Structure 1
Amino acid sequence: MRVAIAGAGAVGRSVAQELITNGHQVLLIDKDPVSIKPDRVPEAEWLLADACELSSLEEARLDQCDVVIAATGDDKANLVTALLAKTEFGVPRTVGRVNHPNNEWLFTEAWGVDVSVSTPRIMSALVEEAVTVGDLVRLFTFRQGNANLVELTLPPESPYVGKPAGLIPFPENCALVTILRDGQVYTPDADQPIESGDELLFVAGAEVEDALEKMLAPGSHGG
């Protein structure tokens, strides 16, 4: 997979290194000469250019990229990069970094963003996930599917403690995808009981989140 990353700062370089480790080809683009540091990620391609300029993206051969990641520290630049990548070059997948939470509403398909990544939102979700039991925590939004990755730590008073996963009447448009227990990852099995303290990860439509939460933890939510 060929990936172009706009923004060669600490975030862009870290993402590039991770992708290269996983066997992907990466191009880092930045308009600031100070940020062009090929010695930091020598396996990547580097381009000194403005990712908001159409000519720069043509030079970067964005039409040959599978993914474009707009990872600069400027939300406006990230939106423009994503929009150009999607509309002018037909890039299949775009990811936009949200620097300021107030701008998160802009990072949608209308601006060419398939997936938005908001660091403040992710950090708050991780904090909530670490300290809450019985509350549904939204970890990630899948824009194209109108669904979310959500987590709930099963409280001891849940009526479904000890029940096999296959016998639990989860709401429609909701799927249990993973059980985290004692530091291990388990693929849900119809005959496998869920236990108190299990971290349950679901892909669920936003409209069923409240019902899922009240079903699994009614004592915490007026059930």
Structure 2
Amino acid sequence: MMNTETLFGSIADDSSTKDSMRITVIGAGEVGRAIAATLSDLHKVVIIERDQRIVEELTYAHDVLAVHGDGREIKTLQQARIEQADLVIACTDDDEVNTVICATAKLVSDAFTIARVRHRTLYETWDGHSDAFGVDHMICTNLLTSEAIFRISGLPSAREVDTFANGLVRMAAFEIGQDSPIIERAVHEIDSDNPLTFAAIFRDEELLIPSGETVIQSDDHIVVIGSTQAVENFASVISRSLRSQTDDIIIAGATKVGIQTAKLFEEHGYNPRLVEQNSENALAK
């Protein structure tokens, strides 16, 4: 499951540089509450929730205005003063409800709308027609999770992996073990083997900006940036193993995320095997 920082960290970063905004969050589940807790220190947050008990809890737990009601209904949105909202985030557990909420919000406000969905098909429909559903930005949590699994699987020794420029550039973080072949080697030596940029080294809770003469030590945490191939080559050196296209890929659990992950591997030329304990679910997939 993707955490809220992954889903909405960029919203918090962007909004922190602006004047205080009025943000309306519909759905006070785990994600909705986390968003409220993250943003309420800097912005005016309004939460709409159908469960009266949760509304009462939120009133005491966070510095937010909690409204009881259905976010699909105009009267509930008006009660939450949606016309004053700068940002609307629909994050209930129902994809269709979230899209309807955004469309309804657009009828009565000029707010920027964000919908959280799980199904890739709905996301792909919106992605192909970005003005669809009245949604300004859509986040597909299942797809984000599957993509994260796929990225990290290509770099087994990495702790974190991210991609840029449509996958042409990668940034990855590695922990250097005691038996790593790059220990006691200078950055310029390693860089000559793989054209990388060593962006940072975390050593004993201290951040170092490496130069070509910086020597790698055991237990260093290093962040590198480079082409996909260069980062993969570097990862194979650290882990002493080179992944090939014929490696066995087994995905346990035919959940929506499991199926989506298998599809991603297939799209990249792999032949994954999907294992499901429940025979009825396995046959249905």
Q: What TM-score range do you get, normalising by the shorter chain?
A: 0.5 to 0.7
Is the partner of 1:162 in helix, strand or coil? helix
Name 2:228's counterpart in structure 1: 213
Name 1:7's counterpart in structure 2: 27
- Partner Cα distance (2:206, 2:116) in 1: 28
Q: 1:29 to 1:180 in 2, by over 3 A?
A: farther
State whether residues 29 and 49 of structure 1, in contact with CA within 8 Å, keep that contact through their aligned partners in structure 2.
Answer: yes
Name 2:48's counterpart in structure 1: 29
Equivalent residues in 2 for 1:43-62 (5 A)?
43-62=63-82
Deviation of the 1:103 alpha carbon = 2.8
Equivalent residues in 2 for 1:97-108 (5 A)?
97-108=116-127
Residue 108 (structure 2) pairs with residue 88 (structure 1): yes
The answer for unaligned runs of 5 or more in structure 2 is: 1-20, 175-180, 182-188, 234-241, 246-285
The answer for unaligned runs of 5 or more in structure 1 is: 141-145, 169-175, 203-211
Using the size of structure 1 for normalisation, the TM-score is 0.62
- Partner Cα distance (1:179, 1:64) in 2: 42
Larger Rg: 2
Deviation of the 1:149 alpha carbon = 11
- Partner Cα distance (2:70, 2:170) in 1: 39
Name 1:206's counterpart in structure 2: none
Name 1:143's counterpart in structure 2: none
Q: How many percent identity over aligned positions? A: 25
Name 1:112's counterpart in structure 2: 134
**Which structure: greater helix fraction?**
2
- Partner Cα distance (2:133, 2:166) in 1: 19
State whether residues 95 and 116 of structure 2, in contact with CA within 8 Å, keep that contact through their aligned partners in structure 1.
Answer: yes
Name 2:149's counterpart in structure 1: 127
State whether residues 26 and 47 of structure 2, in contact with CA within 8 Å, keep that contact through their aligned partners in structure 1.
Answer: yes
Name 2:18's counterpart in structure 1: none
- Partner Cα distance (1:162, 1:114) in 2: 42
Residue from 76, 88, 98 that aligns with 1:78 = 98
**Cα deviations by residue, 1:33-69 (Å, 9 ceiling, x for unpaired):** 3432335633110111211112221222112111110
Deviation of the 1:148 alpha carbon = 8.2
Deviation of the 1:18 alpha carbon = 1.2
Q: 1:49 to 1:131 in 2, by over 3 A?
A: same
Is the partner of 2:61 in helix, strand or coil? coil
Using the size of structure 2 for normalisation, the TM-score is 0.50
Deviation of the 1:9 alpha carbon = 1.9
Is the partner of 1:117 in helix, strand or coil? strand
State whether residues 28 and 48 of structure 2, in contact with CA within 8 Å, keep that contact through their aligned partners in structure 1.
Answer: yes
Is the partner of 2:108 in helix, strand or coil? helix
Deviation of the 1:123 alpha carbon = 2.6
Deviation of the 1:214 alpha carbon = 5.2
**Cα deviations by residue, 1:128-163 (Å, 9 ceiling, x for unpaired):** 44443399x7669xxxxx97897444999xxx9637
Alignment root-mean-square deviation, CA? 4.5
- Partner Cα distance (2:190, 2:66) in 1: 53
- Partner Cα distance (1:75, 1:185) in 2: 43
